[in-house]
Chains A and B, each alone.
Chain A
Amino acid sequence: MSDYNFAYLDEQTKRMIRRAILKGLAIPGYQVPFASREMPMPYGWGTGGVQVSAAVLTPDDRFKVIDQGADDTTNAVSIRSFFERTAGVATTTATTEATVIQTRHRIPEVPLAEGQILVYQVPIPEPLRFLEPRESETRKMHSLEEYGLMHVKLYEDISRHGHIATSYAYPVKVEARYVMDPSPIPKFDNPKLGGCPAIQLFGAGREQRIYALPPYTRVVSLDFEDHPFEATKADHPCGLCGADDSYLDEVIIDDTGGRMFVCSDTDYCETRQAAGHRGKDAA
């Protein structure tokens, strides 16, 4: 792939994306329009994240890609090998060793550190989209800080189900100003968004938006005083490493209803197993 520039995109395009990223960091939670490019993978498969990663990667970086928390799901494998080929950067599966982590749908269990960048792939960046389909309207609502509709929606959930019936892509308020979609992470991960020492960048390719959370940003999940936000997960320990503090995937193991729960973050699980932790289903 030597015909292509470092990390695929040409320098002018990277410059344009970096400007959008800087603007996003200056106005946390604000969706910055950017001229998203066609990438050699389809829209909806992480082109926003890929473009953000391409714009921030340097030859010295160590790159990690996860999808659903795992390094070895097909799309994570594909994006990792894309940057191995086009940027020649070192890759890793260890959260603590990575300088840039591109993720789909999860925040790693191990707390991130200063100097790290977490790049989210975002399908629908607009938290108000399913309440108001028109972009011209939602942009107006953000500029006027008109978020009543969102609170009404959450309230209607409570009156109908007794709970806020949003379990992922749970909306947050950033620095008491913008309501932001944290991408479809489970709400279990929401508390990790705020006060995070790492830079968090969000890229939506098809929707042509970039937004960002600079380190140590205040991020609050929307809730009500009498219905406080609650981060939930399956009420089990991990079957392989025994962790009781990690987000779990449910795995069907037979056709008679047998199932087990395992860490969705494969690096976290493997690190714990290597340190001698064992769950009840471990071999």
Chain B
Amino acid sequence: MYVAVKGGERAIQNAHAWLAEERRGDTSVAGLSVAQIREQLSLAVNRVMAEGSLYDLDLAALAIKQARGDLIEAIFLIRAYRTTLPRFGASAPVETAKMACDRRISATFKDLPGGQVLGPTFDYTHRLLDFKLAADGETPAAAQREADPAPVPHVTAFLNREGLIEDAPHDDTPPPDLTREPLEMPADRALRLQALARADEGFTLSMAYSTQRGYARNHAFVGELRIGTVAVEMDIPELGFTVEIGEITLTECETVNQFKGSKTEPPQFTRGYGLVFGQTERKAISMALVDRALRWEELGEDNVGAPAQDAEFVLYHADNIQATGFLEHIKLPHYVDFQSELELVRKLRREVETSQHQEAAE
């Protein structure tokens, strides 16, 4: 005997209680503190801040804890929290040329003003599991040196002085705000960069990788990759001047790309750009490659039909919160639509059978 399904509410409550228990895991093992996540899983925290579009280490660490380490779920928590925050105003553009760099490398010049600073990188490590970590081995302190106070100018600025790279003219037009206005096509570069800065790391990486493998290849050199802190300044109308309200860590990548030149312009390199919250260099490099691929039209290149050249395709599918939500919604009930499909398929099958019978009879 069928009784219409009841009790969804209690089932949900119980499922959530079970989830909370599973999140905690074995209670004989000490629980993780938010501070531990913030300090020891800092690259996860950085990714959650970047794709969640909210710079707050503690909230990102809390989200990771609550999400059981599922970073897309954690990003979702941050995004949902972010929407509820009032907006006081906009900061002045941050000055990445004045960044206090922890890391600054160039793949195009062996040495350059400001020097090559490797910083805390996985590069050149041998990826061998370190069993000492499992045994709670303490880490010896790293060697220290006074920071060099000399300025660290952008590599592309050197090239620009010789006119070897396309100019990036100063533009004070306020950029559109993806989180306050619907994304509409065609999207200008500022809007595309904004979307890419919060785009899924995996998606952006694969899109960038596809350009390297020949789908709209653009011969990218990492002109410069820098990670460090910049001051955030805001103009306070009541005070009449700009004050520093804090500092944030950013990863910036500028690529130097091919350009053949045209009848009117001499050969020149072109630019790709990536800028992401936190130490997130894989994402920043990927962003720069995808940015460059999306610029085909303004640079007068051919559209070779590559996915990374297709702004609609890239921008409409880059957001992991939109993607995961829509993907996972197919778990929801679809009885009604499935029922109407059932009726239709049965009807079509009946008609085929009938006509086959008739043919056989004839």
Contact = CB atoms under 8 A, between A and B. Distances in A.
Interface string B175-190: 0000111111110000
28 contacts: A4-B84, A10-B86, A33-B184, A35-B180, A37-B179, A43-B324, A72-B6, A73-B8, A78-B12, A104-B332, A105-B336, A105-B337, A123-B326, A135-B185, A136-B185, A136-B312, A162-B351, A163-B348, A169-B337, A184-B337, A186-B337, A186-B339, A206-B322, A206-B325, A232-B347, A233-B340, A234-B343, A283-B1
Nearest to A161: B348
B239 interface: no
Given A43-B326, A264-B339, A281-B1, 18 more contacts: A13-B83, A35-B179, A42-B329, A43-B322, A44-B329, A68-B333, A68-B334, A68-B335, A77-B8, A136-B185, A136-B186, A163-B348, A186-B339, A186-B340, A234-B339, A239-B2, A240-B4, A249-B336
Contacts, number: 160
Contacts of A40: 80
A105 B334 contact: yes
B354 to A, nearest CB: 11
Interface string A116-135: 00000001000000000111
Interface string A49-84: 000000000000000000111101111111001000
A253 B5 CA distance: 13
A266 interface: yes
B109 interface: no
Interface string B316-338: 10000110111111001111110
Contact of B336 (A69, A209, A283): A69
B175 to A, nearest CB: 15
Contacts of B185: 135-136
Interface residues of B, number: 51
Interface size class of A (residues with CB under 8 A): 35 or more
A269 interface: yes
A42 B325 contact: yes
Secondary structure at chain A's binding surface: helix, strand, loop or mixed? loop
A165 B312 CA distance: 29
Contacts of B326: 43-44, 123, 206
B182 A36 contact: yes
A135 B310 CA distance: 12
A42 B328 CA distance: 8
Nearest to A39: B80
A209 B59 CA distance: 30
Interface string B205-238: 0000000000000000000000000000000000
Interface in A246-283: 247-251, 253, 260, 262, 264, 266, 269-270, 281, 283
B325 A45 contact: yes
B68 interface: no
B76 interface: yes
B8 A168 contact: no
